[in-house]
Structure formats: structure tokens, C-alpha cells
């Protein structure tokens, strides 16, 4: 496995298209879930340099902080709370162009301006979410949704 990522400077779509095969390479042959979540978060952070990117994992009735890259974050989120908890309860991706206009947004970092949260759904149940924060307003769109949903589907959450 190559240890260095090849970083694309192209369009957002080109950046994802360059990154995805490399993420597949990082995941191949490794069945440890924490290791795989950690490398996915690191690869995304290295390519896009977002403020924060990481996983929250469903444990009992809460989301618990998992592998991430960025500033320290809140460790537990209740179902339905914040963007992450709502993505969990609704089992759908949420794009938030302006976090200050999202009722109940949980501000882990005062620098966060926009956010996208993608649920990981296994056998019709949300088992985790991928959360991404940007320091820029209105940063995420359907391209991010499409590719981030694909990226979380590459990780084997049954392992």
C-alpha cells in the first residue's frame, strides 16, 4: 500500500474521483473498523483540508465520537439532537449551508460555518454518521453528498 496520498488540485468532482480509488486501496485487506474510519477521515482531511471531518458511532442510545481529524469535539450526541442526531433519526444526509440558521445545531467549534452529515446505514439501521464541517458558509452541495455517501459505503461497518 502506498503511504502517501496523491492530492488532486482539480474540481471538487475530480478531487473525489482521484481520492476514492486511494481510499479503496487503504481499506483493502484491513478489517479493523477503527483503523478504517481513521484512514478515511485522514484521507478526506488531507485532500480537502476541511475544518473537521470524522465519525460518530451509534452506541446504545447515543452517537459517540469516533476517529476524526480537526479540533477537539463533543463526545456524545443524543438521537435527534444537532445535525448529527437528526441525520441519525431521519436516516438521511443533511446539508446545512449556514449552521447558525439550523435550530439546535451543536457548535463543537466556533469556526464552523457549514456542515454535511451522512448516515451509515446497514440493514436499514443507522450505525454511524460521517460529519464534515467547513469554516466557510454554504460549502457543501449534492456533489459532496453523492461522493461522501459512496465513500461511507466502502467501509465495512460489519467488521
Alpha-carbon distance values, 140 to 41, 42, 114, 126 (Å): 17, 19, 7, 22
Euclidean distance between the first and final Cα of the chain, in Å? 20
Is residue 77 within 8 Å of 84, Cβ to Cβ?
yes
Is residue 37 within 8 Å of 67, Cβ to Cβ?
yes
When binding is defined by CB under 6 A, the residue of 19, 23, 38, 84 that contacts ligand SME is: 84
Complex with ligand SME: residue 67 or 85, whichever CB lies closer = 85
Footprint on residues 44-73 left by ligand SME (CB under 6 A): 52, 73
Complex with ligand SME: residue 108 or 120, whichever CB lies closer = 108
Q: Can you tell me whether residue 52 is helix, strand or coil?
A: strand
Interatomic CA distance for residues 5 and 93, integer angstroms: 27
Footprint on residues 138-157 left by ligand SME (CB under 6 A): none
Q: How far is the CB of 86 from ligand SME (least distance, A)?
A: 8
Q: Can you tell me whether residue 15 is helix, strand or coil?
A: helix
Q: How far is the CB of 83 from ligand SME (least distance, A)?
A: 4
Interface with ligand SME: number of residues (CB under 6 A): 15
Tell me if 77 contacts ligand SME by CB under 6 A. yes
Binding site for ligand SME (CB under 6 A): 52, 73-74, 77, 82-85, 105-106, 108, 112, 115, 131, 133
Amino acid at each position: 500500500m502506498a503511504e502517501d496520498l496523491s492530492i488532486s488540485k482539480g474540481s471538487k468532482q475530480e478531487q473525489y474521483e482521484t481520492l476514492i480509488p486511494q481510499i479503496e486501496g487503504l481499506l483493502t485487506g484491513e478489517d479493523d473498523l477503527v483503523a478504517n474510519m481513521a484512514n478515511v477521515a485522514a484521507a478526506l482531511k488531507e485532500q480537502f483540508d476541511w475544518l473537521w471531518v470524522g465519525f460518530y458511532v451509534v452506541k446504545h442510545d447515543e452517537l459517540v465520537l469516533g476517529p476524526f481529524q480537526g479540533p477537539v469535539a463533543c463526545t456524545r450526541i443524543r438521537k435527534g439532537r444537532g445535525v448529527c442526531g437528526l441525520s441519525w433519526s431521519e436516516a438521511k444526509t443533511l446539508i446545512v449551508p449556514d449552521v447558525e440558521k439550523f435550530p439546535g445545531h451543536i457548535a463543537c467549534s466556533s469556526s464552523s460555518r457549514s456542515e454535511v452529515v451522512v448516515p451509515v446505514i446497514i440493514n436499514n439501521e443507522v450505525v454511524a454518521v460521517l460529519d464534515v464541517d467547513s469554516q466557510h458558509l454554504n460549502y457543501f452541495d449534492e456533489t459532496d453528498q453523492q461522493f461522501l455517501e459512496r465513500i461511507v459505503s466502502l467501509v465495512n461497518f460489519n467488521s
